[in-house]
Chains A and B, each alone.
Chain A
Amino acid sequence: MPANTSLAHLSDVLLVWTVSAYALAMLGYAAEFAFGRSGGSARAGRAGRAAVVLTVAGWVAHVASVTTRGFAVHRVPWGNMYEFSSMVSLVAVTVFLVLLARQPVRFLGAFVMAPVVLYLGLAGTVLYAKAGPLVPALNSYWIKIHVVAAITASGAFMVSGVVTVLYLLKDRWERRSAGPAPVSIGPGAAAAVEFGDTRVGGLMHWLPASAVLDRLAYRVIAFAFPVWTFAVIAGAIWAEQAWSRYWGWDPKETWSFITWLAYAAYLHARATAGWRGRRAAVLSLIGFGCLMVDYYVVNTVLVGLHSYAGVG
Chain B
Amino acid sequence: MTELAEAAKLSTAPVPPQRQPGQGLRRNLRQAWRQLTSMRTALLLLTLLALAAIPGTLLPQRGLNPVAVDTYLAAHPQLGPFLDKLSLFDVFAAPWFAAVYLLLLVSVVGCLVPRIRLHTRALRRRPPVAPRNLTRLATSTEWSADAPPAAVVDAARLLLRSARWRTDIRTEDDGAVSIAAEKGYLRETGNLVFHIALVGLLAGIALGGLFGYKGTVLVVQGQGFANVRSSYDIFQPSRLYSDSQLAPFSFMLQTFSASYQPNGEPRAFDAVVDYRATPDATPALRHIRVNHPLSAAGANVYLVGHGYALHIQVRDAAGRLVYDKDTPFLPDDAMFASHGVVKVPDGLPKQLGFTGFFYPTFGVTPFGPQSTYPGLRDPELDLAAWQGDLGLDSGAPQSVYQLPVASLRHLANRQLSPGQTWRLANGTTVKFAGVDQWATFQVAHDPGKRLVLVAAVLIVAGLLVSLRVRRRRFWVRAVPADGATDARRSVVHAAGLTRSDPDGFSQEFDSLVRRMKD
Contacts and interface: CB of A to CB of B under 8 A. Distances in A.
Interface in B268-309: 268-269, 289-293, 300, 302, 304
A136 B268 contact: yes
A210 to B, nearest CB: 14
B217 interface: no
Interface stretch (B19-27, B41-49, B112-120, B167-175): B41-49
A76 B291 CA distance: 17
Contact of A261 (B46, B205, B460): B46
A62 B16 CA distance: 49
A254 interface: yes
Which of B43, B49, B442 lies at the interface centre, i.e. has the most chain A CB atoms within 10 A of its CB? Answer: B43
Interface stretch (B53-61, B157-165, B221-229): B53-61
Contacts of A197: none
B49 A261 contact: yes
Interface in A229-273: 229-230, 233, 236-238, 240-251, 254-255, 257-258, 261-262, 264-265, 268-269, 271-273
B89 to A, nearest CB: 12
A264 B44 CA distance: 11
Contacts of A236: 456
A167 B417 CA distance: 72
Contacts of B13: 271
Nearest to A287: B50
B1 interface: no
B57 A265 contact: no
Interface stretch (A12-20, A51-59, A77-85, A219-227): A219-227
A268 B43 contact: yes
Given A244-B302, A272-B40, 15 more contacts: A135-B266, A136-B267, A136-B268, A142-B291, A226-B463, A229-B463, A244-B300, A249-B56, A254-B53, A254-B56, A255-B57, A262-B50, A265-B47, A274-B16, A283-B47
Interface in B35-83: 39-40, 42-43, 46-47, 49-50, 53-54, 56-58, 61, 63-64
A215 B503 contact: yes
B502 A215 contact: yes
A292 to B, nearest CB: 14
A302 interface: yes
Interface size grouping (class) on chain A: 35 or more
Contacts of A225: 463, 467
Contacts of A219: 501
A254 B92 CA distance: 10
A296 interface: no
A130 to B, nearest CB: 11
B479 interface: no
Contact of B444 (A218, A245, A265, A268): A245
Contacts, number: 119
Interface string B442-469: 1010100100110010011001100110
Contacts of B135: none
Given A244-B444, A254-B53, A230 B503 contact: no
Contact of A258 (B43, B53, B291, B456): B53
A5 interface: no
Nearest to B502: A215
Contact of B267 (A103, A133, A140, A258): A133
B53 A246 contact: no
B452 A246 contact: yes
Contact of A244 (B47, B292, B293, B460): B293
Contacts of A245: 444, 446
Which 8 A/B pairs are nearest by Cβ-Cβ distance?
A140-B291, A261-B50, A272-B39, A251-B57, A226-B463, A222-B467, A244-B302, A265-B46
Interface in A268-306: 268-269, 271-275, 283, 290, 298, 302, 304
Contacts of A222: 467-468, 500
20 contacts: A136-B290, A137-B290, A137-B291, A225-B467, A229-B463, A233-B459, A237-B453, A241-B292, A241-B293, A247-B205, A248-B64, A249-B63, A254-B53, A261-B49, A262-B47, A269-B43, A271-B11, A272-B40, A274-B40, A302-B58
Nearest to B58: A302
Contacts of A218: 500
Nearest to A222: B467
A7 B16 CA distance: 60
Nearest to B43: A268
B261 interface: yes
B247 to A, nearest CB: 16
B265 interface: yes
Given A249-B63, A265-B46, A215 B501 contact: yes
B375 to A, nearest CB: 15
A239 B234 CA distance: 21
B456 A139 contact: no
A78 B299 CA distance: 32
B454 to A, nearest CB: 12
A247 B289 CA distance: 20
A132 B386 CA distance: 47
Given A135-B265, A136-B266, A136-B267, A226 B460 contact: yes
Given A215-B501, A250-B64, A139 B302 contact: no
Contacts of A274: 16, 40
B16 A249 contact: no
Contacts of B503: 103, 215
Contacts of B46: 261, 264-265, 268
A166 to B, nearest CB: 17
Contact of B467 (A226, A241, A242): A226
B214 interface: yes
Interface in A194-231: 215, 218-219, 222-223, 225-226, 229-230
Given A244-B302, A271-B13, A275-B43, A249 B92 contact: yes
Interface in A97-136: 103, 133, 135-136
A241 B49 contact: no
B64 A258 contact: no
A272 B43 contact: yes
B57 A302 contact: yes
A24 B64 CA distance: 47
A186 to B, nearest CB: 14
B64 A229 contact: no
Interface string A27-59: 000000000000000000000000000000000
B106 to A, nearest CB: 16
Nearest to A260: B50
A261 B48 CA distance: 10
Contacts of B92: 249
Interface in A143-167: none
A248 B49 CA distance: 16
Nearest to B304: A244
Contacts of B11: 271
